[in-house]
Chain A
Amino acid sequence: MIAQVRQRLSPPVIALLLAIALFFAGGLINPAFVNLTQAINIVRLAAFLGIIAAGQTLVIISGKEGIDLSVGAVVTLGAILVFRLSNGQNEALLYAIPIALAAGALIGALNGVGIVIIGIPPLVMTLGMAGVVQGTILVLTQGQLVGGTPPIMGQLISSPLIGPFPGVIFIWLAVGVAMWLLLERTRFGKHLFAVGVNRTTARLSGVRVPLVVIATYALSGLLAAFGGFILLGFTQTVFLNLGGPYLFPAIAAVVIGGTVLSGGKGSYWGTMSGALVLTLIDSLLRAMQLQEAYQLIILGFILVLLISIYGRQSDLRQ
């Protein structure tokens, strides 16, 4: 009986239920926590995290210790490129966005080549690439962050767009639909899962494994740069470590959403739930007005607890 319930309660469902429970638990601590403005605010914060975690979801599904630690740096680079190239002009976005996305995709593709052609472990390759990107940012900007955020970005991303809902929520939903289509309704998605489970089987079934892996890391870079663009719409300004703080929460969101670190199994709507859970925990701890240090300790414990619950699910192991 319990096993049956457990089977039906896949990790994304658990995460989503947890998010709802946390929201109302927030109301017990502080009745002001449960209202529409607060809910919208939380979804908006989760949206940034969720968009940045989209590429990470793909990379982790690709297996073989797949992980992309260059995401934080690429988010920063994407934001800086848009900031600089557009220089506050709405029309300039027409080329600033494609250039930023292409830069992200190129960095990701280089990661993919290093990993699948040269055979560098993903952790090492992407960590090294994070350093290279950070360094490149310093060289290009000389530490001087000149430019501007086009006003339309603020309108489309962070200000209320339809009713009280800011644009970023709709963008996040669109990313969600696109990711679902990509993973579940394209050949690439099916091949990505196959590559994540067993690369020999995939190759002997006609999957071009190196191409899939390179494309996956390239997509991760592209989505990170896109995340930088979105983040810029919120912060309106750039700084050198804009994306850094999102790197590990994004990985945690993917794992909380039930995507298996060993690869081959996962979903983006799980990651979306994971992003909501993390943002809620964070907001709740803030609402409790705990010291930052205690917040971190509690957050760490919750993560370990959640992931150990998932780990016990038999169908996740083997």
Chain B
Amino acid sequence: MKVSLSAQHIVKRYSGVVALADGNLNVESGQVVALLGANGSGKSTLSKIITGVVAPNEGQLLLDGRPVTFASPQAAKKAGITAVYQELSLIPDMTVAENIWLAHEPLQFGVRINRREMRRRTDALLDLFSGAFHTLDADALVADLPPDEKQIVEILKAFSLKPRVMILDEATASLDSRQVDRLFNLIQQWKAENLAIVFVSHRMEEIFRVADRATVLRNGITVGDVAISETNERELVNLMIEASATPRRHERTVAADAPVRLSVRGLRTQALKGIDLEVRDGELLGIGGLQGQGQSELLLALFGAIPWTGEVTLSGEPVHFRHPRAAMEKDVAFVPGDRASEGLLYIRSILENLLLPSWQRYGIPLQLDRGRQDATRIADDLGLVRPSMDAPVSALSGGNAQKVVIGKWLLRNPKLLLLNDPTKGVDVGAKAEFYNLLNDLRQAGTAILFYSSDDVELLELCDRVLVLHDGKVSAELSGSDLNRANLVAASMGSGHMNHEPA
């Protein structure tokens, strides 16, 4: 039976912030539509609306030409729409078969789970990927599976629902090339069986292999719907960025003879596949790319918080930090991305939060008066709005809490500052203050490594930007090459474009 799904003029606001302003998507039987967009363009919001995870504020969904509303993901599933997400929804303590058939188990007499039938059907599903996995088995515990095989189970789970429309949201990210090949073969087969597929991926090469059409989102608006056979990478990237790509506000230069503070050769972790980079004193080196490409791991490794291999030198001296304390002793500081879970002690006072990395300076017994003076000075410098230094951090607003996270490191006068997406969830005013602070630090000669998920921020602040893709540096952009088009192209893993788009 043929199917068609159409999302029309969808609007979604989250507490005043517009995530989707005019989202449109059409897909029908036998078609693969690629959904593309830069960070924060509304891709995931649109796919969540189609699958009933969130409700739209405006606009409508048409299924087979009739308007529908989904109150829940279950309602969407009942209508034949399922999704495979990268964040896995499997239950680790259950077997592969139990996970796949969860909540739609084959039943005997309408009540008892028919284990034999469940097993048979699971084996049939696993046959679809036979030869492309090692340990996968109907009775294996999901917790024991490697990430790629979990992802396969996730795909099969969605397929077991006999969907009419299937959304694959970054479903290939953890698969190896053989598994991707197999999935693409299956997709061809499923197309012939009238399945409609929405394919969300940041791998350009995959989009050109598997998709029939591409729908492009930019700032919450669907700006293009083109046939893959009639387009190319360049055109898609240009659709993803604004026609007048944000110009850089300032050209900044670092003295080329400034000493090299940090030099990294062949840095590897579980997520990183060999990173080389160099930062000079007073330089602000940006790290860009789509989220989850190894940016956080890079900063954590340099701070000694996760194990790594490779060569790192600080001011020419080889170092291998195995604990953050070792990095701190060499004047390295790290501002984590998630304030609540990594940066703050919420129920403790502002004073204690600011002094946490620095207590050893205050002797035994601790000279609290001197500590309070230092902390107050930093708090004043940062314009920290606070009831008192003894108030718990939980009493502060997001922007002020972020100042505490940064302030506790400024107290140590770091020579190398590692910033992990520090402006996430910070309001515009606080961002501007933060940018000024970064500039002051650069003037003072601090070397800064700055990961941001906000491309505009990178373009405006950085001298150079390294774009990470899949654990590798896909491009190093500086000077006139540092523009939105190149940044977006590189984050999609496509080659470096040397020229400004026309």
Q: What residues make up the interface of A, taking CB atoms closer than 8 Å to B?
A: 181, 184-187, 190-191, 193-194, 197-198, 200-208, 264-265, 315, 318
Contact = CB atoms under 8 A, between A and B. Distances in A.
A207 B345 CA distance: 13
B324 A205 contact: yes
B392 interface: yes
28 contacts: A185-B366, A187-B360, A187-B364, A190-B352, A190-B366, A194-B348, A197-B347, A197-B348, A198-B341, A198-B345, A200-B342, A201-B342, A201-B343, A202-B345, A202-B356, A204-B305, A204-B342, A205-B356, A205-B357, A206-B357, A207-B356, A208-B323, A208-B325, A264-B345, A265-B348, A315-B347, A315-B392, A318-B394
Interface string B341-379: 111111110001001110110101110100000000000
Nearest to A200: B342
B324 A204 contact: yes
B328 A206 contact: yes
Among A190, A197, A201, A264, max chain B CB count under 10 A is at A201
A202 to B, nearest CB: 8
B341 A200 contact: yes
A142 B81 CA distance: 72
Given A197-B346, A206-B357, 13 more contacts: A185-B365, A185-B368, A187-B359, A187-B364, A190-B359, A191-B359, A194-B352, A194-B356, A197-B348, A201-B344, A203-B324, A204-B342, A318-B346
Interface in B302-329: 303, 305, 323-325, 328
Contacts of B334: 204
B425 to A, nearest CB: 17
Contacts of A265: 347-348
Nearest to B329: A206
Contacts of B362: 187
Nearest to A186: B364
A194 B366 contact: no
A205 B341 contact: no
Interface of B: 303, 305, 323-325, 328, 334, 336, 341-348, 352, 355-357, 359-360, 362, 364-366, 368, 392, 394, 408
B327 to A, nearest CB: 8
B348 A264 contact: yes
Given A197-B347, A201-B343, A186 B365 contact: yes
Contacts of B323: 203, 206, 208
A152 to B, nearest CB: 31
A89 to B, nearest CB: 36
B366 A204 contact: no
Contacts of B347: 197, 264-265, 315, 318
Contacts of B343: 201, 204
Contacts of A194: 345, 348, 352, 356
Which A-B residue pairs are the 5 nearest by beta carbons? A185-B365, A187-B359, A206-B325, A197-B345, A205-B356
A181 B365 contact: yes
Contacts of B357: 205-206
Given A185-B366, A315-B392, A190 B345 contact: no
Nearest to A260: B347
B352 A193 contact: yes
A185 B365 CA distance: 5
Nearest to B339: A201
Contacts of B305: 203-204
A265 B357 CA distance: 19
A202 B328 CA distance: 13
B419 to A, nearest CB: 13
A205 B346 contact: no
A170 B366 CA distance: 25
A206 B352 contact: no
B11 to A, nearest CB: 34
B198 to A, nearest CB: 36
B344 A198 contact: yes
Contacts of B356: 190, 194, 201-202, 205-207
B415 to A, nearest CB: 16
A186 B324 CA distance: 21
B20 to A, nearest CB: 32
Contacts of B355: 190
B341 to A, nearest CB: 6
A207 B346 CA distance: 17
Nearest to B335: A204
Nearest to B368: A185
Nearest to A263: B347
Nearest to B362: A187
A34 B331 CA distance: 61
A181 B364 CA distance: 9
Contacts of B346: 197-198, 318
A205 B342 CA distance: 9
B127 to A, nearest CB: 39
A66 to B, nearest CB: 16
Among A198, A204, A208, A315, max chain B CB count under 10 A is at A204
B258 to A, nearest CB: 27
A278 to B, nearest CB: 26
A109 B334 CA distance: 31
